Amino acid sequence: MPRPRYASESFVIVPIFAAGDAQDRRGRTLGALCVTDKLSRGPFHGNDQELLQVLASQAGTALTNAELYEKATVDTLTRVFVRRHFMQRLEEAVANARFRGEPLALVLIDLDHFKSVNDTHGHQAGDAVLRGFGRLLKQVVRAEMVCGRWGGEEFAVLCPGMEGEVAVRVAERIRAAVAAHEFRIPGGLALRRTASFGVACLLPGGERRVAARARRPRSVRGEGRRSQPGRGRDRRARRAGGAAVPGIGRSATAGGAQRAGVPSFARRRCA
């Protein structure tokens, strides 16, 4: 049986344009505002169209602002937050953790030997690996965690309300997911990669500021590399504020802890 055709006694369509500058009042076409079947069952008039044009203009401005906000805060390649916005979220999380007396954890990630991907397969392959890692990272972590690109092949995950032991398990989950994942690159090839991790936590009552110290995170991530010969990468390292953490492994050097880029912690190494 044929489906009945839709019939309407009145119909009006108003395009939605992206907000442009003063010289170009009409930007890109984002969509259309479609209204049909006036309640009075009469036709639409010029006043109706003018009202819809006002609504379409407001919608275009809102959509344009949302697009600009995304461009300013989200990395176009990996689809995680850019470093500047991530630092804003980190500073807010530190303030909230201190105010509420809650723990806060930070996971720092560095893809191992990433330069070799660019040198061997080209920068398009490197972009494909970064893009795939961004997708994988957001799949592995929980929705309330904040993912950011620190720069190049370095990433960070902010874990509000999370203690160090749990953050270490998060890092291990990400590490295992990366090691098991096949990154598809141009040419139909699949690459296997590993990553090194640094885990730091701010416990209630911690004295130093995570956000200020997190600007130089290399020594925390590097601890995952500077271990026994042959075991330097595909590992995670831990620093905890306020107290030692049992069951994490052998202590790292105090000098390395002082040079770390995240809170005031006595660092511990994870096997």
Catalytic residues: 153
Count CA atoms closer than 13 A to 23's CA, side-chain side: 0
The whole-angstrom separation of Cα 83 and Cα 67 is: 18
Measure the CA–CA gap between 152 and 130, rounded to whole angstroms. Answer: 9
Asked whether the beta carbons of 96 and 154 are under 8 A apart, the reply is no
CA distances from 64 to 87, 102, 173 (A): 24, 37, 37
CA-based nearest residue to 68, from 21, 125, 100: 21
Contact 159, 202 (CB under 8 A): no
Phi/psi for 66 (5° steps) reads: -65, -40
Q: For residues 86 and 63, what is the distance between their CA atoms, to the nearest angstrom?
A: 23
Q: Are 159 and 107 in contact (CB under 8 A)?
A: yes
